[in-house]
Amino acid sequence: MPSFMRRLLTTSALISFAIPAANALAAPTEAHTERSSKPVRQVKQAPRAASSSQPSMMGSTAPTDQAPENLDVKGSRHRSVGGGLMIKEDAPKSRSTVTAEFIQKQAAGLNPMQLIEMLPGVNTTSTDPMGLSGGHVSMRGLTESQIGFTLEGFPINDIGSYAVYPQEIVDPENLRTINVEQGSADLDSPHISATGGAVNMYLLDPKERLGGKIVGSYGNYNARRIFGRLDTGYVGHTNVRGYVSFSDAVEQSWRGPGGQNKLHGETKWVSEWGKGNKISFSLVGNQSTGVMFPSTNMSAWQQKGIHNAYSSQWDPKKPNSTYYQLHRNPFTNIYASAPSTFTLTDNLTLTETPYFWYGNGNGGGAYNEDLTKQQYGSQTMTGSIGPYNASNTSSLLLYNPSNTQTYRPGAVTKLSLHTGINRLSIGYWFEYSKQIQTGPYSLIDYATGKPNDLMGSGPHLLLSNGETAQYRDNLTQTRIHTMFIADSLSLLHNRLTLEAGLKYTVVNRQGHNFLPDTSTGPYINGSWQQPLPAASIRFKINNENQLFASSTTNFRIPMNTSLYDSGAYFAGSGYSTHANANMKPEISISEEFGWRYQGPLVMSSITYFHYNFTNRLYQQTVVMPNGDYYSQSINGGNSHADGVDVEVGTRPILYHLRPYFSAEYINARTDSNVAAGSGSDYVFSKGKFAPQTPKYSLAFNLDYDDGHFFAGYGLKYIAKQYSSFNNDQHIPGYLTMNVNAGYRFKDWGVLKAPTLRLNLRNITDRHYLGYVNGTAANGLATTGVFGSKIRAGNSTYSIAAPFMVMGSASVEF
C-alpha cells in the first residue's frame, strides 16, 4: 500500500478514536420552540461540511455529502416538486431523487425498488404486492447486478453475485431520500459492479426532541404490518440523539400456498459539534422467512399463467419435491455503518465510512436421491443418512438448500482540501469479504413434509468414504483496494464547474472448491486491476438554466458463481452451473450531455446518453442435446446504446395539483455474435436489439395535497423486452396504474398528524411477465453462424405482482 495511504488511514483511525469526549458531547447552546409553546433545548446546527459545498460527481456518496434534509414544517412540506419526485439538482450528470414526502404517501412497507419506479429509465418488478419476496430493477437496460446500491454510503449488493434483495434493506418510514444515478456511480462509490449507475439511500437523522411514530396497515392477501419508531431527542446534556424502530410484516402468497414474513429493526445515532463535525452510527437488522415464487419459462407461462406455483399437497406415501414447505427462503442480515465527518482545519475535511455486512440464509429445494448411486467427483459410491442407506432405499426425497454465509467488513476514507474555488479529494476504499456457500442434503419430516431444519443442519447425507454429500461447497475471499483522486474547479462565480478524477481498483479473489474433479480445480485465483478515469463540466447559463456533460469509465469483475461448477460433479454430467473462470471484466464507458431548467414553478431535465460495453457479462441458460440445461456466465461481447431521458415536474399549480412526467427512449444494440448451445457455434445476434432492455418507458404521477386531504394517481408503461440475443422471444409491453388517497387530521393533544391512507397498486389486476431473469442465445430453434442446428433456448422470467389494496393509519407523538 502506498505510504501516503497508510498515513491517511492512520490519521483517520486516530481521529475516529481520539476525539475528546468534551467536544463530541458538548452542552447545547440555544433553545427554541417547535410545534408547541413549550421551550425545547436545541443544539446549534453545525455548518454543512465544506467538502460538499459544490456540485460533484466525484465524491458525493457519504450521507454528509448530501444536502441538509428539509424539516417537516407545516405550510411548506407540500410544495416540493412533482409531489416529492424531483429536487433542485446541480450534479454534472443525470440524477433523480425521491424524497420522504412521496415515500410517506405510498403503501406501507414498500421496498426501495418499488419506490423508485416512476423515475426516468427505471424498470422495476415486484414478485408480491408488498415486496416482501424481493424484486428486480434495471436502468437503461442494465440489471441490478450492474447497478451499485448503497445505504448510508456503504454497499448493499451481494459481494459474489452482485444481486440486490430490496426487502432486506430499510423501512421506508426511516428514509430521507433515494438518489438514482442512471449513468454512473460517483468516484467514491464503493462498488466493483456498478457499470450501469447507482442507487443511494439515506436515512433520516434522529429528531431533536423526544417523540415517535406508529403505523398500522392491513390489505388483501391478509397482509398485515406494524411499524413503530421512538426518537430519544438529545440524551441528557449531550449532543447525542438517536432513534430505534421496529416493524413486523406478514402476507399470504398470492399464487400458491404459504406466505412471506419479515421482522425488521433499525437504529441511528448522531452527534454533531463545532464546525461541520458529525459522527453517526446506523445498525439495521432483518430476519425473513417466506415461500419463494418460482420463475417461469415461456412454455409454462403460456400453459399455466400465474398458476405456475409450488404444490400445497403433501402425501407421505408419495413425497413431492415441489411441496411449498421445501422451498422457503430464511435469511438473516445485519448491516452496521458509522459514516462520519471531521473538520480538521478550515480547509481540510475528513470523511470516514466504516461498515460491516453480515448475512446468513438460503433458498430451499428438494431432490430425489438414489443412495446406491452417489457421486464423489468421478467416483461412484453409496450413501447413508440417518436410518436410511443403500440397502433399504434407492429413492429418497431429501432437503437440499443453497446456503450462503457472508462476512464483509470495509471502510471508505476520504480527505478533501478546499481552497477557495478549488477542491482536491483523495480517498481509499478497502474491503475484505468471506463468502461460504454450501448445499448439504438433510432429512425431511415425512409426516408433515417440512425439512427437519430450514438451514439444512444434520443429519446429512454421508458418502461411503465418510465425506458429506454437497450440491456445492466453496469459500470465496475477496480483497478490494481502491484509490481515488479528484479535483474540482469552480469558475465565473460558481457558474462553471470543471471536474476530473481517477479511480484505480485492485481486486484479488481467491476461490476454494472443496468438491473434487471439477473443471476449474480446487483453487482458483483471480486478480483484476483497472484505472477508471472520469471528467465532467457544468455551466449555469443563469439561475434557472444549466448545461452539463460527463464521461466516466466503470468495470465489473465476473461473479463468483463463474468460478465453480455446481450440481453433479463428474465428467459429462449436466451441472446446474458451469464454471467459466477465465472471463475478462466487463468495461463500460458512459457519456452524458444534458440541460436542466429549474424555475420557481416548473423543473425539467433532458439528458442524452451513450454507452459502450466491452466484454458484456450475462447469465445464460444453455440447453444440452439430451434436454438437460444449465446456467453459465458468458461474455456477450461488445454492445452500445444511445438514448434520451426526460423528466418534468411542478410545484403546486391549479387546485394544489403537482404533475410529474418521466420518459426514456433507448436504442441498445449487441455488437457481437453470441455463443450458443455448447459454445461450438454462434447465433446471428450482431446488430440486434439488446435483451432485457425496453425501447420505451413512460411514467406519469399526479399529486394533490391541500395539507389535509391528499391523493395521487400514477401510471407506468414499459415496452417489450427481448429475452434472447437472437430477438426471437420477448415479453410484451405492459401498463400499470396506482392510486393513493388519505386524510391528515388536526393534532389532538400529544398526538400529531393522525393520518388515514388508502393505497391501490396495479388497479387493473394485470397479470404479466415483468422481468427477464435469465437470457438465452436463442428462444427458438435456429441455424448457427457455422451452419449447425441449435436447439431452442430456455429464458426465464419473473411473474409480476397482482392488484393490491392496503389501508394504513399512522400517528406521530
Q: What is the pLDDT of residue 23?
A: 34
Q: Which amino acid is at 323?
A: Y
Query: What Å distances lie between residue 618 and 519, 583, 663, 679, CA to CA?
Result: 20, 11, 26, 14
In a domain, 138, yes or no: yes
Q: Which residue has the cell 446500491?
A: 149
Look at residue 250 and tell me if it is in a domain.
yes
755 part of a folded domain: no
Domain encompassing residue 236:
3-44+54-195+206-290+309-362+370-750+763-805
Check which CATH number belongs to the domain holding 643 and give it: 2.40.170.20
Would you say residue 757 lies in a domain? no
pLDDT at residue 128 in the model: 95
Q: Tell me, what amino acid is at 665?
A: Y
Q: Is 567 domain-assigned?
A: yes
The pLDDT value given to residue 565: 82
| Burial label, 549 (beta-carbon count in 10 A; 0-12, 13-18, 19+) | middle
Do the domain assignments include residue 543?
yes
Where the chain has pLDDT below 70, the residues are 1-57, 67-77, 568-575, 621-629, 678-679
**CA dist., res. 427 & res. 108, Å (int):** 38
| Three cell numbers, residue 357 | 455486512
pLDDT at 5: 39
- Spatial separation of the C-alpha atoms in residues 37 and 444, rounded to whole Å: 64
One-letter identity of residue 673: N
The answer to whether position 534 is within a domain reads yes
Our CA angle for 567, 570, 576, nearest 5°, is: 20
Tell me the residue length of the chain.
813
Residue 77: its pLDDT value, please?
57
Pairing of strands 696-705, 782-783: unpaired
Q: Hey, how many other C-beta atoms are within 10 angstroms of the C-beta on 542?
A: 7
Within a domain: 92: yes
| R_g (Cα) of the chain, nearest Å | 27
The model's pLDDT over 170-182, given as tens digits with 9 standing for 90+, comes to 999 999 999 999 9
Question: What is the number of domains present in the chain?
Answer: 1
In angstroms, the CA 356 to CA 411 distance is 9
